Amino acid sequence: MLVRLSIAFLACCLAAPVMAQNLDDDVDQVEEYREDYGQDGPETEDEDLRTGPRPPWTFQLRFAGDWRTNRYLAESGAQPSATIAPDISLWRSWRLGGLRLFTEFGAIAPTSLTDARLDSSALFGTFELEAGTSGEGLVPYVAWEPWRAYEGTFQSHLLTLHTLSAGVRRIWGPTFLDVYARRQEASIDIAERSSIGATAFHNIPLGRGVLNLRGELEGRRFDWRPTGRERQLRTRLRVRAILPLSHAVDMQLTADLHRTDSNLPGQSFTNLIIGPTILARLGF
């Protein structure tokens, strides 16, 4: 009996790091999908082709499809895949004196056409309060973004993220800059981290549409990882052509390059994502 218990205990000890690493991989995949398809919050409006007064409510339907070079986020031996990602969301914006409150709720379901084990889905939200107008100097803001992720299409719960941000943003005509500090709390400790970063983009007229050039740089420090204390430098370069199809519908053609550099062996990777998106917005 004692021998069997000893063997069982040893098996659990050996399996724990493997299980933790598998969960780590699942979390990384959710984070990557969130980077690819997550809403940009209020800054999305600055990529929009519409001008003039905006109604307070916006209902959005989006259907994205892409080809990516590194479906498993591997450091070497990358394998390509194809993904589709439908999502639906509802936005609301309020003006409260010199303050602006932005809220958003939605659902998304990235689905791999290559490996069903990569399928996931999420319910998400944004609550953001900013002081001032982005085109009139630096505008400070704070934000809370909950993200509840599931395996498959809203099957078993995988993890819940709560991201708290504080930063300043500024708009100079077609150019946008956002500098921030961020803290992510999670239902799984391997996803908890602190980060600082910056996002910038520039819009160039493209016929009746817009060519959007975007860059992001973020340094991350994780509280804990199964293979050690991880620090990441995340770099993202994106080119997106936004082409109007009708008054409320756009087509977006995107090339999005992600690079993650990690201090831990085997955790650095590059992913190139290319594909079209159909986006419809209804303001009311």
Q: 3-state SS of 20-40?
A: HHHHHHHHHHHHHHHHHHCCC
What's the mean pLDDT in 79-99? 91
Half-sphere exposure of 134 (CA within 13 A, CB side): 22
In angstroms, rounded to a whole number, what is the distance separating the alpha carbons of residues 233 and 218? 6
- 95: pLDDT confidence band, cut at 50, 70 and 90? confident
Least confident window among 16-25, 129-138, 260-269: 16-25
Looking at every residue in the chain, the average pLDDT score rounds to 85
Q: What is the pLDDT of residue 17?
A: 42
Are residues 100 and 94 in contact, defined by beta-carbon separation less than 8 angstroms?
A: yes
Q: What is the pLDDT of residue 2?
A: 42
- 163: pLDDT confidence band, cut at 50, 70 and 90? very high
* Residue 18 pLDDT exceeds 50: no
* Residue 241 pLDDT exceeds 70: yes
What's the mean pLDDT in 158-183? 94
Supply the pTM of this predicted model: 0.85
Q: What is the pLDDT of residue 135?
A: 67
* Residue 180 pLDDT exceeds 90: yes
- 39: pLDDT confidence band, cut at 50, 70 and 90? low
- 173: pLDDT confidence band, cut at 50, 70 and 90? confident
Q: What is the pLDDT of residue 33?
A: 74
Tens digit of each residue's pLDDT (9 = 90 or more) over 266-280: 889 999 999 999 999
What's the mean pLDDT in 24-37? 71
In angstroms, rounded to a whole number, what is the distance separating the alpha carbons of residues 2 and 208? 76
Tens digit of each residue's pLDDT (9 = 90 or more) over 53-69: 678 899 999 999 999 99
